[in-house]
Chain A
Amino acid sequence: GAVVSQHPSRVICKSGTSVKIECRSLDFQATTMFWYRQFPKQSLMLMATSNEGSKATYEQGVEKDKFLINHASLTLSTLTVTSAHPEDSSFYICSAMGAMNTEAFFGQGTRLTVV
């Protein structure tokens, strides 16, 4: 299957700082990328959907000014957690889907800890 690389895998940051997470499709063009937040006890919440060159569509309750998503190219999307707080600590996962839209491929996730 296709490969999606997510970086970093782990990051620790101080409260009030911003953190950028990258999601790259390595061997296909990702027309659509999805960002998720995984809470304890495995629930996987869709945060936003982004199409290349367009503004992301955020799910209800997700603050778009806090979780900035950029999908400037067909191989890269970024999620920036701005002014991070301890409650933002979580596991963030991206996935990417190509133009044929038959399957999404997932990154390995980023464990964010805000101290």
Chain B
Amino acid sequence: GDSVTQMEGPVTLSEEAFLTINCTYTATGYPSLFWYVQYPGEGLQLLLKATKADDKGSNKGFEATYRKETTSFHLEKGSVQVSDSAVYFCALSNDMRFGAGTRLTVKP
């Protein structure tokens, strides 16, 4: 069946460091791929998405490219901020199952 495998972390970075959170998937068909973010005490918000192969989703300095050849959708940001501290989830549109979530903590 469809599934998502996500780097679990936790990840701790200093401000302005480069961030990568890995996400790989197994899916039938051509699902959309998502990254959601959950800030402390809040629900999930869509961070970015890509609907087809080679699409790049981007938002708030974060980017992820839908790579069919490697079945990956890795999340990247060139320079993280303290306000980026949150839990990040990768997901497939087929069944909206989530990866395990990666807790990111950015220190000043």
Contact = CB atoms under 8 A, between A and B. Distances in A.
Interface residues of B, number: 22
Interface string A71-98: 0000000000000000000000101010
A46 B96 contact: yes
Nearest to A105: B46
A42 B46 contact: no
A49 B96 CA distance: 9
Contacts, number: 50
A44 B38 CA distance: 11
25 contacts: A1-B46, A42-B87, A42-B100, A42-B101, A43-B100, A44-B44, A44-B98, A44-B101, A46-B96, A46-B98, A49-B96, A93-B43, A95-B96, A97-B96, A101-B93, A102-B93, A103-B34, A103-B46, A103-B93, A104-B91, A104-B96, A106-B43, A106-B45, A108-B42, A109-B43
